[in-house]
C-alpha cells in the first residue's frame, strides 16, 4: 500500500505515488473489564470493581481499520468518565470523517479546535490513528516512535489499599510473578499509611523499589506527618496532595524521592515542575495528556531533561496495554522508571496480540501498528457508528 506523508514520521518515501487514506466510518464499542482481585481501592475510600472501557475503530475508505481504547479510573479520579468518552467521540466524529488518519499532527489540531479540553476523549482516536499509520507503513508503533531500547520493559504492580499486613502479603504474591517494583495505594489516615509503608518495606528484598502513592489523598499536614515518620525508609512519595502548590510544599520539606502524576497534564505543567524542582520522576498517562502523540512529545522532552518516567494510562485492557508497551519500549532504558500491564489486572480480554507479562516484563509487538486484533465477540455490536 502506498505511504502517506512518510517523511513526516522519519520514514523513507515510498517510490510509488502517494495516496491519502480517508476516515469513512467511526465505530464505538463499550466493554466492561472486571478486576481479577475483585476490587481496586485507593485514597479517600475510592474504589472500582468493573472498569468501563471504550474502544474506537477508525475505518478507512480502503477498508483498513485502526483501533484505540480509553478507560478512565471511574468518574472520580481525573475529570474523565466512560460515558463521557463516548459522547465526546460523537461530538468529534463529523469533524474527523473524510480526514486522513495518518496525518496525525493535523488531525490532532482538528480535534483540539473542534473540542476544547477533554483530552481523554481524543486519546483513543489518536491511538487508532497510530495503529493505522503503522499498518499503512508496515511499521510497528514502537518503530514509528523511535525504535526499541532493550529487550523488554520492566513493570510495576499496584497494591490496592488494604490493611498493612494484607498489602505486605500481596507484595510477596506479586513478587512470584516477577515484579520488583511495587506501588502502594495510600492516602488514608496518616498513622495507617505509615504502618502500610513500613510493613511493605519490611518484606522487600535487595533491588526492589517501593512507591507510596497517595493519589492526591493527603492534606499538606497529613503528608508531612507521613514523610517525616518514614524518612528512614527507602520509598518514593507519589502525588501526596491534590494541588501542585501543596505537593511542592511537601517536596520542599522532605529528602525522600518524589513523583508527580495527576498534576502532570501537559508540557507546560512538566516545564513548570522541572523549573521548580518539584519532582524526580513523573507518571505519564496516555489518556490524561490526550493520546500517544502528546504523550510522545512529553516523553521526548523528559528524555532531554533527564526525567525518568512511569509510562502507563489511567486504566485499560489489551489495546491500551499494547499502546503503553510501544511508548515505553521506544523510551531509553535509563529514563524508563517502570510501566504497567493493565491486561493482567482484568478478567476480560478485548484483543489478541497484546503483550503478555513474562517475569515482570513485557515487550512491544513487532507487528504493524499496535500489533493487536480486537476480539469482536467481546466487543459486541457497536454502541455508535458515524459515517458520511
Mind telling me the catalytic residues? 185, 285
Q: Which residues of 76-107 are buried (b: 16+ CB within 10 A; e: fewer)?
A: ebbebbbebbbebbeebbeebbebbbbbbeeb
Please give the grid coordinates belonging to residue 25: 466510518
- Which residue stretches of 66-189 are H helix? 82-96, 104-114, 119-137, 141-144, 164-175
Retrieve residue 129's grid coordinates: 490513528
Q: Cell 518503530 identifies what position?
A: 143
Bridge partners for 41 per DSSP = 47
First CA to last CA across the chain, in angstroms?
24
* Nearest CA among 66, 69, 70, 68 for reference residue 101: 66
How long, in residues, is the chain?
A: 388
Amino acid at each position: 500500500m502506498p505511504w502517506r506523508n512518510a517523511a513526516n514520521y522519519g520514514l523513507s518515501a515510498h517510490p510509488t505515488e502517494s495516496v491519502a487514506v480517508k476516515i469513512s466510518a467511526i465505530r464505538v464499542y463499550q466493554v466492561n473489564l472486571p478486576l481479577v482481585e475483585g476490587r481496586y481501592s485507593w485514597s479517600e475510600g475510592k474504589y472500582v470493581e468493573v472498569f468501563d472501557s471504550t474502544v474506537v475503530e477508525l475505518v478507512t475508505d480502503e477498508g483498513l481499520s485502526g483501533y484505540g481504547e480509553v478507560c478512565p479510573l471511574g468518574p472520580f479520579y481525573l475529570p474523565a468518565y466512560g460515558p463521557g468518552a463516548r459522547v465526546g467521540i460523537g461530538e468529534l466524529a463529523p469533524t474527523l470523517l473524510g480526514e486522513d488518519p495518518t496525518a496525525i499532527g493535523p488531525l490532532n489540531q482538528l480535534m483540539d479546535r473542534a473540542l476544547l479540553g477533554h483530552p481523554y476523549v481524543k486519546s483513543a482516536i489518536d491511538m487508532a490513528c497510530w495503529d493505522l499509520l503503522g499498518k499503512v507503513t508496515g511499521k510497528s508503533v514502537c518503530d514509528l516512535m523511535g525504535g526499541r531500547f532493550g529487550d523488554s520493559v520492566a513493570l510495576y504492580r499496584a497494591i490496592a489499599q488494604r490493611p498493612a499486613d494484607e498489602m505486605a502479603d500481596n507484595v510477596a504474591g506479586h513478587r512470584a510473578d516477577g515484579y520488583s517494583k511495587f506501588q502502594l495505594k495510600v492516602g488514608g489516615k496518616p498513622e495507617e499509611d505509615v504502618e502500610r509503608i513500613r510493613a511493605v518495606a519490611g518484606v522487600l528484598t535487595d533491588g526492589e523499589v517501593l512507591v507510596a502513592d497517595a493519589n492526591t489523598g493527603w492534606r499538606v499536614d497529613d503528608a508531612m506527618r507521613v514523610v517525616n515518620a518514614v524518612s528512614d525508609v527507602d520509598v518514593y512519595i507519589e502525588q501526596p496532595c491534590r494541588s501542585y502548590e501543596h505537593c511542592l510544599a511537601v517536596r520542599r520539606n522532605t529528602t525522600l524521592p518524589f513523583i508527580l502524576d495527576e498534576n502532570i497534564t501537559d508540557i507546560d505543567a512538566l516545564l513548570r515542575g522541572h523549573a521548580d524542582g518539584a519532582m524526580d520522576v513523573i507518571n505519564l498517562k496516555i489518556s490524561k495528556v490526550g493520546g500517544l502523540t502528546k504523550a510522545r512529545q512529553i516523553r521526548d522532552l523528559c528524555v532531554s531533561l533527564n526525567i525518568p518516567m512511569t509510562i502507563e494510562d489511567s486504566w485499560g485492557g489489551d489495546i491500551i496495554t499494547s499502546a503503553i508497551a510501544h511508548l515505553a519500549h521506544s523510551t531509553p532504558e535509563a529514563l524508563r522508571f517502570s510501566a504497567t500491564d493493565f491486561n493482567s489486572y482484568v478478567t476480560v480480554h478485548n484483543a489478541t496480540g497484546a503483550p503478555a507479562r513474562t517475569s515482570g516484563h513485557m515487550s512491544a509487538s513487532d507487528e504493524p501498528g499496535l500489533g493487536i486484533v480486537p476480539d469482536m465477540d467481546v466487543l459486541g455490536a457497536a454502541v455508535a457508528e458515524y459515517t458520511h
